[in-house]
Amino acid sequence: MARILVTEKLAQRGLDAMAAAGHEVDVQLEWTPESLLEIVAGADALVVRSATKVTESVLAAGRDLRVVGRAGVGLDNVDVPAATRRGVMVVNAPESNVLSAAEHAFALLLAQARNVPQAHAALVAGRWERSKWEGVELHGKTLGVVGLGRIGALVAQRALAFGMRLVAYDPYIAPERAKRMGVELLGIDELVATSDFVSIHLPKNKETTGLFSRELFARAKPGVRIVNAARGGIVDEAALAEAISSGKVAGAALDVFAAEPTTESPLFSLPSVVVTPHLGASTEEAQDKAGEQIAEQVVLALAGDFVPYAVNVAARGASEAVRPYLGIAEQLGSFFSSLSGGLPDEIEVEYQGALAAEDVGILTLSVLKGLFGATADEPVTYVNAPRLAEERGLAVRESQTTTTRDRVNLVTVRSGAHSVAGTLVGHDASPRIVMVDDHQVEVPPAPQMLVVRNDDRPGMIGVVGTVLGDAGVSIANMAVGQTRGGGTALMVLTIDRILGDDVLADLASRAGILGVHQVGG
């Protein structure tokens, strides 16, 4: 019997399922950040929703923790890397709120189009304001869906039923799949310039934070209406308020905010704005599904069985020879995603050396985890990675050869003009990226990296170093590889922070610089 600490309200069916498995279910809903460190001591499992911050301190206090369960989709409140370092499995319930989130996004769209909450508030306050709250029809209007994952696709389906024209921005969706859904793929600038309504369904990461900015609103179609039921911070709330006040944007409906909980925003005083307090998953059905699903995952984890929605622990069955390569395989997928700047039609994962004689399927799944990790609207697991590849029209090929020229083992990810390879080196099996775009390099993978293609002539390292130095950026590692036959070269640098667009543009404009890619972050 294990002790399962539950710190937030969970569906009774979930609690009953964990108890029926023979575990002690300790529900403690009244706690402070300080007292949480006390009550987590001795717990084998911790089940939370969104309010409990599972920090490194909490994980350290919970020395006996084997699994942390998040009853929902997002993992913003769980320090997954810290849990991984401590060998604590993190699981979530990614299927629980998809329908509820899509329906809420569409409810917001309709409420904004017809001014439902504003008219309701006026009427119950004793004012009959029929002419003031004239709305617009959805039929015949263009809906721009930004992010065509599971929730975005469900919103698109519902919009079709209302007779809307559909366009979408998602560089990780195959055009064939979008066409089957009745959706035309566009660039983000063209989408906002074309759409009457924009509904956002993106994960929050370095590429999407602040995506809807003053500059983007300036390029938008006059009178566009913005709906965000995805993640706070994707929309610059101050910029949106300015765009609405100026008349450029007709209105907005938001369920999520940069800081939560919040009762203050420049948007709250604007009459054409509809807001809700992060209700996307707040349905009885979603809460029941989340409680049941997370209970199932926690019970499996405590029993030592295969856990489908583990986000940080490999599937069981990887051999002793394969297991050390899970990390570098995922890093190669993430590196390749940033390097390519979008999803190709197919990728090849090649295994060379002794590793090729093993069952390497789990490594290919690790590559897919890294490839989709920053772009999917759900945490990517070893179970859902193949589905994501299928949904996005990505064909995955494996090739294996037991011979390798320079390395004991080598994993290579390749598609079109881009490629990246990695291996483990030394007695401590340290990960190394050893090839980028067919240039031989050797550099440890890191959270922030920079790939620069340049003319192969003296002084180019100095050019890059000067630009980064002037921007206050430190270089931790650098590797340089020449193109076969000469003429061009490639630098791979580890840097201490994400570069702003201005620094990237400055670097790209320098004589002799042929291309710049920021990786990770």
Give the model's pLDDT for residue 269.
Answer: 95
Q: What are the structural domain ranges in the chain?
A: 3-95+284-303, 98-275, 314-436, 437-521
- Expressed in angstroms, the distance from the first to the final Cα of the chain is 41
Give the model's pLDDT for residue 407.
Answer: 85
Which listed residue (104, 231, 392, 407) is catalytic? 231
Segment 379-392, tens digit of pLDDT: 677 767 888 888 88
Which listed residue (278, 414, 432, 439) is catalytic? 278
Rounded CA separation 209/493 (Å): 24
- How is residue 259 annotated by DSSP? S
Which of these ranges, 109-118, 195-204, 309-318, 474-483, has the smallest mean pLDDT? 309-318
Segment 144-194, tens digit of pLDDT: 999 998 899 999 999 999 999 999 999 888 888 899 999 999 999 999 999
Segment 419-473, tens digit of pLDDT: 999 999 988 889 999 999 999 999 999 989 999 999 999 999 999 999 999 999 9
Architecture of the domain defined by 314-436:
2-Layer Sandwich (3.30)
Which listed residue (38, 260, 285, 390) is catalytic? 260
251 exposed, middle or buried (CB, 10 Å; 0-12, 13-18, 19+)? buried
Residue 313 has pLDDT above 70, yes or no: no
Indicate the residue type of 387: R
Rounded CA separation 257/261 (Å): 8
Rounded CA separation 148/156 (Å): 8
Give the model's pLDDT for residue 521.
Answer: 56
For this structure, is 418 an active site residue? no
Phi, psi of 299 (to 5 degrees): -65, -40
Which comes out higher in pLDDT, residue 354 or 120?
120
Residue 314 has pLDDT above 70, yes or no: no
Residue 317's pLDDT band (boundaries 50, 70, 90)?
Answer: low
For this structure, is 392 an active site residue? no
Q: Say how far residue 230 (Cα) sits from the centre of its chain.
A: 11
E strand map for 147-196: 165-169, 184-185
Rounded CA separation 111/252 (Å): 10
Which comes out higher in pLDDT, residue 484 or 231?
231
Give the model's pLDDT for residue 316.
Answer: 47
Rounded CA separation 294/286 (Å): 12
The average pLDDT across 76-94 equals 88
Looking at domain 98-275, which of 3.40.50.1400, 3.40.190.10, 2.40.50.320, 3.40.50.720 is its CATH number? 3.40.50.720
Give the model's pLDDT for residue 343.
Answer: 83
For this structure, is 427 an active site residue? no
The correct answer on CATH 3.30.2270.10 for the domain covering 437-521 is no
314-436 and 437-521 agree in CATH topology: no
Query: Is the CB of residue 402 less than 8 Å from the CB of residue 354?
Result: yes
Residue 87's pLDDT band (boundaries 50, 70, 90)?
Answer: confident
Residue appearing with tokens 């769209």: 109
Give the model's pLDDT for residue 408.
Answer: 87
Query: Is the CB of residue 52 less than 8 Å from the CB of residue 37?
Result: no
475 Cβ partners below 8 Å, 6+ apart? 465, 468, 493, 494, 495
Neighbours of 65 (CB within 10 A): 24
Give the model's pLDDT for residue 243.
Answer: 98
Average pLDDT over the chain reads: 92
CATH fold label, 3-95+284-303: Rossmann fold (3.40.50)
Segment 494-503, tens digit of pLDDT: 999 889 889 9
Rounded CA separation 385/3 (Å): 31
